[in-house]
Amino acid sequence: MSTLIKGGTIVTAGDICAADLRMDGEKIAEIGKDLPQKDGDAVIQAKGRYIFPGGVDVHTHFELPFMGTISADDFKTGSIAAICGGTTSFIDFCFQDKTKPLAEAVKAWHEKSKKAVADFGYHMGITDYTPAVAAEIPSIIKQGITSFKFFMAYKGVLQIDDGQIIGIMEIIGKHGGLAMVHAENGDMIDTLVKRFVAEGKQPPEYHWLSHPALAEEEAVHRIIELARFTDQPIYIVHLSSADGLEKVKEAMSRGYKVIAETCPQYLLLSSDLYYKPNFEGAKWVMSPPLRPADHLEKMWDGLSKGFIKTVATDHCSFNFKGQKEMGRESFAKIPNGIASVGDRFNLLYTYGVGKGRLSLTRFVDVVATAPAKLFGMYPQKGSIAVGADADLVIFDPEAGGEVSAKTHHHNCDYSAYEGMKLKGLPESVLLRGKFAVRDGKYVGEQGAGRFIARGPSGKMM
Ligand code: URP
Ligand code: ZN
Ligand code: ZN
């Protein structure tokens, strides 16, 4: 049996057109004007609705052991939140347990991800680069895990040095993988954290004061030079500052292979939130931190002009009660991260398209198509085309709403975006041809998510 979506406006990264769409099983079978209803066809009326490709969030941390606790959303709650918010595929970071083989981490992630209700892949997170780890990289890539993150920050925990970075980039490149980096100078941060702690400075605002934009700017500059040295592309995750962005622009203008991702928080929220009384500022402790308000429009500008290619979330949720509170005695112990996998698509629509900062096609590109292309999932994901997976968002541009912990699907007791108004919401969401959200209600099947063995990453450049 096939299903016909009639009367909607199909929006892709390249086009906007009024057309009908037929799905057959899990795939898009036909797109065209006034498609006839066949015997047994189910029909979805989509007049006045946009049909978007399902969103692709390439940066999540579900059930991640981190900073002495475990992130609050697991693959079930995280992927339900994602799909209710228009995101049908995500890539989670599969972190190597230091000193252990990469393969062990992959096994652990396959176990955790059985609960997923949206499709998913993994990036490999390398925390300890040794000859044994290097030897495992080709086999990881063969399993469809074609991107690898490492850290220039979190000194003493995750940070690796330039020599190790060079080694990793060379081996990843040799086998067709893409290197991804958390670009902050961990030594600058460590110096400031130790200084503030020694001075008895405890409150949350010292988190952002110990992570200056200069630390990002320096690391972005350095990683670009290391990418030139190794002749490899580099994907910079969660770019947060106008200073870092300037370095990316400069490099792009010289033709260097740098790809930048940002997140809704670095477009919409600012560092004054750290000064909320009663330890509330802890809710926004993340790395990199929020920046002063004058960075935000510059980040939007970089996104609309194509210097920033993707918007992911870096979803890493921690409850305020019992988790963020671990840092009441010291800002340095507040688990880093916020929940937002369910908010990204809608925030980008309201504050990007709705405010005239992004065209409709650019919106689709940054939330779905570019991430799918960069990470080897296109055109199966991130597109509306015959033969692609029927992952679709039927979107009502007139629907109004508000972000709130009272209504969100995140397993988190607060929302970093509490009270922000939304205009435009998913009405229905389909995953491989099946309703996961119907008329605003989650109707998905338990464990419906499927692992995506991805093709080569970094091929869009
Ligand atoms: O604060 C953050 N970003 N937490 C998750 C870990 C990371 O650096 O991506
Ligand atoms: Zn990071
Ligand atoms: Zn992250």
- pLDDT tens digits for 194-240? 999 999 999 999 999 999 999 999 999 999 999 999 999 999 999 99
> Which H or E run includes 132?
helix 131-142
CATH fold match for the domains 2-52+388-405+421-442 and 54-374: no
What is the domain partition of the chain in residue ranges? 2-52+388-405+421-442, 54-374
- pLDDT tens digits for 102-132? 999 999 999 999 999 999 999 999 998 899 9
- 337 in ligand 1 pocket by Cβ < 6 Å? yes
Architecture category of domain 54-374 in CATH: Alpha-Beta Barrel (3.20)
- 410 in ligand 1 pocket by Cβ < 6 Å? no
For residue 99, pLDDT over 90 is answered with: no
Protein residue closest via CA to atom 4 of ligand 1: 337
- 286 in ligand 1 pocket by Cβ < 6 Å? yes
> Which H or E run includes 69?
strand 69-70
- What is the phi/psi pair of residue 51, to 5°? -110, 110
Fold of 2-52+388-405+421-442: Urease, subunit C; domain 1 (2.30.40)
Cβ–Cβ < 8 Å for 257, 461: yes
**Which residues have C-beta within 8 Å of that of residue 78, sequence separation ≥ 6?**
60, 62, 63, 90, 315, 317, 341, 410, 411
pTM: 0.98
- pLDDT tens digits for 274-302? 999 999 999 999 999 999 999 999 999 99
Distance 228 CA to ligand 3 centre (A): 24
Cβ–Cβ < 8 Å for 156, 98: no
**Is the four-CA dihedral 454, 236, 133, 122 of positive or negative sign?**
negative
Tokens read off for 300: 């939007």
